[in-house]
Amino acid sequence: MDKQEIFNYLDEDIINKLSYEIKKNIKKDCVLLLIGTDKCIGDAFAPLVGSLLTSYNYIKNPVYGTIKEPIHALNIKETLDEIKNKYPDKPIFVIDSMISGKGNIGDIILLNEGIFPGSALGKKLPLSGDISLTLVVSNNEKDAINSLTTLRLNNIYEMAKVVANSIFIALSDSPYCVSSAVLQ
């Protein structure tokens, strides 16, 4: 991958395209770090992905960040320290939502580098991950907080299913995604 690849969750055959790029660019034995909080719909994207992945019972990777145990601004530093101590040789694949004035809502950006979570909200958090996947949940940079709270949960959930299935296929030995009937 060059520095980045951009997809949209509505693209035709998105799960296969995204899982191919993930598989090509990250080791299967990576640690998954899903950043966000369930207190805000737009920011719940990554914890939803984490919860879906852990519910599949086939992902062997360590998963940090679910709806039940979110990773957010208040605990990210200690979580990164824990991951680096427990898994010093494993790459960290970080997933987060983002606000972007340049992207379209639903754009999935796969970067060959880590990210600084919370930067759209002016937070100074540590660089996270070795490779990252971010999802554009809003393009209203002027009113970031309000734009994250006025999104429809169903839209975030549909986007989370696409990303979770793509990660599942990329990191497991299964060529199949989890049926959407299971996820409803």
pLDDT digits (tens, 9 = 90+) for 155-179: 899 999 999 999 999 998 766 666 5
Q: How confident is the model at residue 8 (pLDDT cuts 50, 70, 90)?
A: very high
118 with 70: CB under 8 angstroms? Answer: no
* pLDDT confidence of residue 183: 47
CATH number for position 99: 3.40.50.1450
CB within 8 A of 182, min separation 6: which ones? none
* pLDDT confidence of residue 42: 81
- Taking CA atoms, 176 is separated from 15, 27, 64, 76, 167, in Å, by 10, 19, 24, 32, 11
Residue 59 belongs to what domain range?
Answer: 4-183
Write out 113-124 in H/E/C secondary structure: CCECCCHHHCCC
Q: 3-class DSSP state for residue 31?
A: strand
Rounded CA-CA distance 167/43 in Å is: 19
Rounded CA-CA distance 54/177 in Å is: 14
Rounded CA-CA distance 12/104 in Å is: 16
Strand partners, 6: 109
Domains in the chain: how many in total? Answer: 1
pLDDT digits (tens, 9 = 90+) for 86-106: 999 999 999 999 877 676 888
Strand partners, 136: 98
Over the chain, what is the mean pLDDT?
Answer: 85
User: pTM of the prediction?
Assistant: 0.88
